[in-house]
């Protein structure tokens, strides 16, 4: 099969991989319809985080091509969304609602399985991992729906995890730090949970436009101490009920600590580049921090209902689409910040 191949820092191209096969009775093989490039893929591409040479990509949607003998909840031909991690559904972490911490699970596309930026993927624990999408009444999904399904594979759930982790309540004032696809998804999530005011920190007009489309009520074009001062002024000096941390740098976590009100929460989903931070700042303000790798498998069914009902359109984060042959361009567009997030059209639904 054809698949994107990561060759090392700065180099991604298209090559051949053996077709994945059923290895365990609980496996399924999925023929990929859409894949995409994640902000964390860029970290591999830029050489910041290590990644095995070979198949790459952890976000995909597609059609079940074959199933192992123990798979009972899926049939060949089913349309599915894969969360970016696979999980057994039975371990204590899964039972507690945190399948992304499954004791026997893992992430797609970094050596354990083929990645989502390719024509096919083996999905372990298929019943527990994959989410079946009901067939559309009209017989086919729109491109807009396919983009939104792909967003549910990771970024929409990760943004939602920030808002859920921060305990966003109806009527809250929320600030989102980070205007990447996850940050924008966090704006959408905060509104879904009932926040009446959502302050998006962004200096990029294209991202600001998506933030407003997703329900941001205020845009703050500042960073660091200036951003803190501005958000405090917007909230009569008190700070926001929840700050959603969607970057993972020292500056972004400090900004969150500075703008959250006494007793408020930080929902943190930006993969931390910082090792430590000044917890004392949070302690003395009674500010909590919660988050991590999003339990996407738990969130997908609920968000899928919203997408199918037309209540949310998380696929708007994709502002660049190409095919698998042009995967290098998909990475370059994001690396050069010409695109918020790149969608890969890989197969027919």
Q: Which stretches of the chain bind its own copies, using CB under 8 A? A: 92-93, 96-98, 100-101, 165, 236-238, 241, 261-265, 268, 271-272, 274-280, 282-293, 295
Q: How far apart are CA 222 and CA 295, in angstroms?
A: 31
In the complex, the smallest distance separating the C-beta of residue 28 from its own copies, rounded to whole angstroms, is 25
Contact 264, 245 (CB under 8 A): no
Measured from the CB atom, the residue of 52 and 95 that comes closer to its own copies is 95
Measured from the CB atom, the residue of 116 and 264 that comes closer to its own copies is 264
In the complex, the smallest distance separating the C-beta of residue 306 from its own copies, rounded to whole angstroms, is 23
In the complex, the smallest distance separating the C-beta of residue 238 from its own copies, rounded to whole angstroms, is 4
Measured from the CB atom, the residue of 98 and 149 that comes closer to its own copies is 98
In the complex, the smallest distance separating the C-beta of residue 334 from its own copies, rounded to whole angstroms, is 23
For the residues of 197-255, what is the DSSP string, one character each? EEEEE---HHHHHHHHHTT--EEE---HHHHHHHHHHHTTTS-EEEEEE-S-SHHHHHH
Residues pairing with 80 in the sheet = 62, 132
Q: How far apart are CA 104 and CA 267, in angstroms?
A: 26
Measured from the CB atom, the residue of 105 and 215 that comes closer to its own copies is 105
Contact 168, 174 (CB under 8 A): yes
Residue 143 token pair: 């491109």
Measured from the CB atom, the residue of 57 and 295 that comes closer to its own copies is 295
In the complex, the smallest distance separating the C-beta of residue 248 from its own copies, rounded to whole angstroms, is 9
Beta strand 131-133 with 79-82 is antiparallel
In the complex, the smallest distance separating the C-beta of residue 251 from its own copies, rounded to whole angstroms, is 15
Measured from the CB atom, the residue of 179 and 241 that comes closer to its own copies is 241
Q: How far apart are CA 222 and CA 226, in angstroms?
A: 6
Q: How far apart are CA 186 and CA 163, in angstroms?
A: 6
Measured from the CB atom, the residue of 55 and 235 that comes closer to its own copies is 235
Q: How many CB atoms lie within 10 A of CB 121?
A: 29
Q: How many CB atoms lie within 10 A of CB 292?
A: 15
In the complex, the smallest distance separating the C-beta of residue 293 from its own copies, rounded to whole angstroms, is 6
Q: How far apart are CA 169 and CA 196, in angstroms?
A: 9
């Amino acid at each position: 099969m054809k698949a994107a191949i990561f060759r090392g820092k700065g180099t991604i191209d298209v090559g051949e991989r053996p077709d994945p096969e059923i290895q365990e009775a609980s496996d399924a093989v999925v023929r990929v319809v859409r894949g995409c490039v994640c902000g964390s893929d860029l970290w591999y591409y830029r050489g910041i985080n290590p990644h095995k040479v070979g198949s790459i990509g952890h976000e995909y949607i597609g059609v079940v091509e074959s199933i192992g003998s123990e798979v009972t909840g899926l049939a060949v031909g089913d349309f599915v969304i894969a969360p970016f991690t696979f999980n057994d559904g039975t371990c204590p972490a899964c039972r507690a609602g945190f399948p992304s911490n499954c004791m026997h699970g893992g992430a797609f596309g970094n050596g354990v399985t083929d990645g989502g930026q390719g024509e096919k993927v083996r999905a372990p624990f298929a019943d527990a991992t994959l989410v079946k999408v009901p067939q559309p009444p009209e017989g086919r999904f729109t491109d807009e729906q396919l983009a939104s399904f792909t967003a549910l594979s990771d970024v929409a759930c990760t943004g939602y995890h920030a808002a859920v982790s921060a305990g966003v309540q109806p009527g809250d004032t929320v600030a989102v730090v980070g205007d990447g696809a996850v940050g924008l998804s966090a704006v959408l999530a905060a509104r879904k949970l009932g926040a009446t005011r959502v302050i998006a920190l962004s200096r990029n007009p294209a991202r600001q436009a998506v933030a407003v489309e997703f329900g941001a009520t205020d845009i703050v074009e500042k960073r660091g101490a200036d951003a803190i001062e501005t958000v405090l002024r917007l909230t009569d000096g008190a700070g926001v009920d929840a700050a959603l941390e969607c970057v993972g740098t020292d500056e972004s976590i400090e900004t969150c600590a500075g703008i959250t009100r006494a007793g408020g929460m930080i929902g943190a989903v930006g993969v931390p580049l910082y090792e430590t931070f000044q917890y004392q700042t949070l302690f003395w303000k009674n500010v909590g921090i919660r988050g991590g790798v999003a339990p996407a498998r738990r969130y997908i069914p609920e968000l899928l209902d919203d997408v199918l009902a037309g209540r949310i359109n998380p696929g708007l984060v994709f502002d660049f689409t190409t095919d698998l042959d042009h995967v290098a361009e998909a990475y370059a567009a994001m690396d050069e910040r010409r695109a918020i997030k790149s969608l890969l059209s890989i197969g027919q639904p």
